Structure 1
Amino acid sequence: MRWPTLYIALAMIFMPIQAQAQCANPSAPLGAIIFNEDHDVYQGCTTQGWWSFHEYPTHPCTGTTSDPAIGDTCEDGSIYAGLSPDGDVPMYTTPADAPGGATYTWNDGTSNYTYMSMANCMDASPGTAATCQTGEANTAFLVGATGEPDYPFAAAEYCDGLTAHGYSDWYLPAQDELNVLYTNKNMGDLNGTFNETGSIPASYYWSSSEIDITSARAQRFSVGNQGSYGKFGGFAVRCVRR
């Protein structure tokens, strides 16, 4: 076992020297702190011997400290899709679109439009506004907008209500998160799971990013185009979680 040659000895100011316990392998006084290079943890010398302060978190997809490859299926059945631009944290998706190839409207399918009080996502990825990245916050906002004339916001409601692979924290990805799915759509077990055929609405996927009173952002997975589409239109939905 490798141990560093130096450690920090934290003196127990009010404890008599004769009462201090000693730790072995390596030998150190009570209160010493070391870094165990073999196990990647900091450890402190206590009256019970060496104790770890923490361990590096394991990746929920692999059960180890190493990241999976994009497109790897996790033990729970979800698929690692890459890093979400909302914090650069691991993002996972389901292995299929909403059941049966169903399409969902962004709003309630009517022209009773609401100009939502969320910043407009006006440009393609990487979008300038935060709402181009923050799908989890966008979804929570839409689900909570119960007083709006075009509520419910069907695509967001579907993902928010989804329980799959042992989790219930799914959400409708923001534009730039949706673009991560598009960019990685041919990687590993993601390959072949998206609709890439036909004309509108086939191959089009909703994001949770609004652009103006009548339209929201969507992406065509056959070619990658991002654009503005009427909220009443029915598109495919692929939910994600972080």
Structure 2
Amino acid sequence: MADRKPKAFALDNNTDTTAVSGKSPHVKAEPQVGDRFDDGTIFSGISPDTGKPMYARPVDESLAMQWKEAVRYAARFEGHGKPVGTFRVPTDGELSVLFQNRTKIGGFNETGSVPKGWYWASTLGVDPRDQRFSDGRRGCSYENVYSSVRLICS
């Protein structure tokens, strides 16, 4: 995914629009959290687990899911011009980055309601991890509880 270009920066000659801002047209602009890419994903930050850029889908999956269902769904998901296996449920650390950047990424349910206001992480300890996006509260839920899912890729 090294060839990703934000919509605002993609040009045919592989340069960016920083020339408009007075910078060299041959210097590539770094993506900013919230930048939307041609494939429909949104730059969401750097994974604290891998050190790689993370790209989120622009919307939550339409239905809340149980944890195992969410992980299986992610493994089968194909979209945004990417093959099956590209997207995944974020880890606990990555979910925290999504929470911190939720305003710039957009579209998260911040009502705090159950199940739509809570989001699954792929991290599994004794129980799966989740996080409420109204206030950032983190917890562990039983696998049979329903929560929202926002898939990412890197």
The alignment status of 1:202 with 2:116, answered yes or no, reads yes
1:236 to 127, 148, 151: 148
- TM-score normalised to the size of structure 2? 0.80
Cα distance in 2, alignment partners of residues 219 and 175 from structure 1: 8
| Corresponding residue of 1:178 | 95
Higher Cα radius of gyration: 1
User: Whose strand proportion is higher, 1 or 2?
Assistant: 1
Higher relative contact order (CA 8 A, sep 6+): 2
Q: Where in structure 1 do 4 or more consecutive aligned residues deviate above 4 Å?
A: none
Unpaired runs of 5+ residues, structure 1, are 1-56, 107-152
- TM-score normalised to the size of structure 1? 0.52
The aligned amino acid for 1:179 is S
Q: CA contact under 8 A between 2:112 and 2:118: conserved in structure 1?
A: no
Displacement of 1:87 in angstroms is 2.2
| Corresponding residue of 2:70 | 155
- 3-state SS of the aligned residue for 2:77? coil
2:136 to 224, 227, 230: 224
| Corresponding residue of 2:4 | 60
Cα distance in 2, alignment partners of residues 74 and 95 from structure 1: 10
- The alignment covers a number of residue pairs equal to 133
Q: Residues 59 and 82 of structure 1: is their aligned pair in 2 closer, same or farther, counting only changes over 3 Å?
A: farther
| Corresponding residue of 2:50 | 87
Unpaired runs of 5+ residues, structure 2, are 16-27
Q: Residues 59 and 68 of structure 1: is their aligned pair in 2 closer, same or farther, counting only changes over 3 Å?
A: farther
Cα distance in 2, alignment partners of residues 89 and 238 from structure 1: 18
Cα distance in 2, alignment partners of residues 199 and 87 from structure 1: 31
Deviations 1:32-71 (A, max 9, x none): xxxxxxxxxxxxxxxxxxxxxxxxx965133553221110
Q: CA RMSD in A?
A: 1.7
Identical-pair percentage: 35
| Corresponding residue of 1:74 | 37
